[in-house]
Amino acid sequence: MATHHSTYDAPGRSQPACPICGSSAPTKYGVKDGRELRICRDCRHIFWAQMPSDEQLHAFYASEYTQGHGQEEIQAANIEYYRHHAVDLVTKHGGAALCIADVGCSLPLFLEQALAVGFNTAIGVDYSQEARDYGERRGIQVMSPGEFDQIENDSLDVLRYSHSLEHMVNPMDNLVKASRKVRAGGLLHITQPNFPVFKATESSIPLKDSVWPSHLHFFNPVSLKCMVEAAGFRLISFCTVTEEQSCAATYGQIADVDYSVRMLKSLEAIGEHVRGKLNNFPYYYGENSVAFARKPASLTSRLNAAGRLFFGKLPKL
Ligand SMILES: [Zn+2]
């Protein structure tokens, strides 16, 4: 019987509460390679009972990078997708002369395309020296997370996380801090691995890519929505994509569709119907989620806009 309740256990950090919604007493989901996975009873987020220490993570990624040959070729194959995606971000934002930050950018090939389609400033955030070197050759500033913390508040129009939050020990903290850098009215884009909303119960069904310490969080639409809203954003578009049939077959028996209906009603109207029924409310079976959210305009900027509207309508004397 577990009677141990310390917050930090050597060598890694233990997680007594849900790292996304803060709910206490998460329950056991299962065990992978001798490590326990827990599921939150409230937001149904799944995470490792024991998170890696900073030293373990740094050692892991240092060895990953040296093995990471071929990254440029892999990303180069996505150029067309990057270009369309960058245009989509400009369109969804609706502004001009935009500044974008891509957190966990790896080699900043996407940001090159963002500059090509009209963004005027592109900031990459990554620990990798290769990413910095690549950026330097192409006029893109790639910063460390510590340097990114120092940029001015309210200076970004678009904040992007593509397959990066699930690798962090504390994605909530990262997003909350980064959201301060986003101007009112700015856009947040997240795409990452998705799991359907599960029952809060133990299961022997393995989670895709549950490899410690590279994948530390297993988001579902409820935990993603919780994190995005806690960081001060409002979802404006949400769906899942790809492998929805096979994921439905794998996870269908532990999916809690009733809970999804209860918790995600507000997402029903912001799906993408072209993705099909299984990728939308209330199922969300696709293997990746695609979320767009907006930082609400501040009261001051809304009053200014209302003022312009009002004065613009004054009759000419
Ligand atoms: Zn939770």
2 occurs within a structural domain: no
30 occurs within a structural domain: no
**Ligand 1: distance of its center to the CA of 78 in Å?**
34
**DSSP E strand boundaries for 82-207:** 99-103, 121-125, 141-143, 156-162, 182-193
Query: 209-267, pLDDT tens digit by residue?
Result: 999 999 999 999 999 999 999 999 999 999 999 999 999 999 999 999 999 999 999 99
194 occurs within a structural domain: yes
Output the CA torsion sign for 162, 168, 173, 178: negative
Domain count, the chain: 1
86 occurs within a structural domain: yes
**Ligand 1: distance of its center to the CA of 222 in Å?**
9
What is the residue range of 256's domain? 71-312
Backbone angles phi, psi at 123, to 5 degrees: -120, 125
Backbone angles phi, psi at 46, to 5 degrees: -110, 140
Write the DSSP symbol of residue 212. T
The amino acid present at 72, given as its one-letter code, is: E
Which CATH number is 189's domain given? Answer: 3.40.50.150
Site of tokens 């028996």: 253
Quote the pTM value.
0.89
**Ligand 1: distance of its center to the CA of 69 in Å?**
37
Query: 118-132, pLDDT tens digit by residue?
Result: 999 999 999 888 999
7 occurs within a structural domain: no
**Ligand 1: distance of its center to the CA of 95 in Å?**
35
14 occurs within a structural domain: no
CB atoms within 10 A of CB 27: 11
241 occurs within a structural domain: yes
Cβ within 8 Å of residue 118, ≥6 positions away: 90, 96, 98
245 occurs within a structural domain: yes
